[in-house]
Amino acid sequence: MERDVRTLLRTERTRAGAILAAALLLSSGPTAASSVEQGRRLALLYCAKCHSTDKVSPSPLKIAPPFRTLHERYPIEMLQESLAEGIVTGHPAMPEFRFDSDQVGDFMAFLKTLEQ
């Protein structure tokens, strides 16, 4: 009888662990996808006038690097601080702007999708 109880408890723990793992995976998927989408929207709103924000198009403004090539120039993570504090000098025609912390995370998530 003691062995049956142990087996039952082990089975229940395994089942509970599997349910928890599935719940975590399901809850993180849409959040990550919505973060990328929000980042894409920010790029289109604030940056697409000058920068290419996709994987193939040239930038509308020749001196503005396509976002897909930024990771080749320097680590993308270096942008996080600049985006939060306000980018003042990107290129001569670049306007000054600042993102809040959620926007920085969304924008960074979007930029990472262009590296692939």
66: left (phi over 0), alpha (psi -120 to 50) or beta: beta
Instruction: Dump pLDDT digits (tens) for 26-54.
Output: 444 556 789 999 999 999 999 999 999 99
CATH match of 2-114 with 2.30.30: no
Q: How far apart are alpha carbons 91 and 72 in whole angstroms?
A: 17
Q: How far apart are alpha carbons 101 and 65 in whole angstroms?
A: 24
Instruction: Dump pLDDT digits (tens) for 1-15.
Output: 656 656 655 656 666
Mean pLDDT of 81-105: 79
Please give the full DSSP string across 10-42, using - where no structure is assigned: HHHHHHHHHHHHHHHHHHHHHHHHHHHHHHHHH
Q: What is the pTM of this model?
A: 0.68
